[in-house]
Amino acid sequence: MATINCIGILTSGGDAPGMNAAIRAVTRTAIYNGLRVKGIMRGYKGLITGEIVDFTSSSVSNIIQKGGTILKTARCPEFREAEGRKRAYENMRVAEIDALVVIGGDGTITGAQRFAQEFDVPIIALPGTIDNDLSGTDATIGFDTALNTIMEAVDKLRDTATSHERLFFMEVMGNTAGYLALSGALATGAEAAIIPEMETETDQLKTLIDNGFRKSKNSAIVLVAENPATGGAMGLAERVKREFPQYDARVTILGHLQRGGSPTASDRILASRLGAAAISALKDGQRNVMIGIRDLEMVYVPFSKALSRTKSIRKENIDLVKILSI
């Protein structure tokens, strides 16, 4: 196995609070271990265009508290093509990069998996996504911060909800996963969470109405995962208007507000631990794995498992939202 002297770091896909903390940890742990570090701007696009800069310890000073990513991020359709990946590999060689640490979600890891297979490049991935939808890890960088943003928004919305007898749908992100909606419902005392994982089993809106959400309350807040399976908050509000016109439904869509903000202590610590573990993994000869956290311990998760979509929602949490909303 070739000796690793220089690593490249990139962030790809949607930004997530804590990415900068991860960049900082990867950079400084690598330098501590005698490795050179290069920052790749704008994700895989920067690999293709050669936007690669030398990183020192001072390059990552004063960033642990900042949201977003100092490396920027961009969509890169060219990396999905063989020619684009070939140019990326050639630029890696010119920059003398021996291994990559990539930070992002399922799209990022999918790209890393293909790149590693084609060019035998050692790659370590860090799970950076507010959706918390990657298998093999209990948490992803950015999830806790996004959850706290949702909690603050619902707390504010509750003031209005209690002043008006209305049914409020708040739409949150989550892609194909309902972790943000369900965890947000538990954290805020919301009356329900409508998530894609349950949509094939039951008509969640009808269940909410049939259970009589106003039996003991004059208002209700329902967190809805942004997903075609749920119809999203707007789709649900339209259904209420058509099928349950006796209720006054209103919609709040948080959108990209959930991605921003200074990362919480939990996200900073998680990102720092994962970043340091990425360098340890490369030193141990690991390649093509995502660093995850299971029961507070760092674990190596093969790319195929991280992308397997087997991460399941805890049924007991769904039941708990229902129990606590009476």
Catalytic residues: 131
**Tokens found for residue 93:** 């060689």
* Cα separation, 242 vs 48, whole angstroms: 50
Q: How many residues are given for the chain?
A: 326
* Residue in the structure block whose two tokens are 């573990």: 277
The closest alpha carbon to 10, from 278, 309, 239, 295, belongs to: 278
**Tokens found for residue 121:** 């490049």
Burial class from Cβ neighbours inside 10 Å (0-12, 13-18, 19+) for residue 221 reads buried
Identify whether the C-beta of residue 150 lies closer than 8 Å to the C-beta of residue 188: yes
The closest alpha carbon to 99, from 244, 230, 280, belongs to: 280
* Cα separation, 48 vs 288, whole angstroms: 20
Integer CA distances (angstroms), 133 to 130, 137, 271, 295, in order: 8, 9, 16, 17
Burial class from Cβ neighbours inside 10 Å (0-12, 13-18, 19+) for residue 250 reads middle
* Cα separation, 187 vs 152, whole angstroms: 10
Bridge partners, residue 249, by sequence: 167
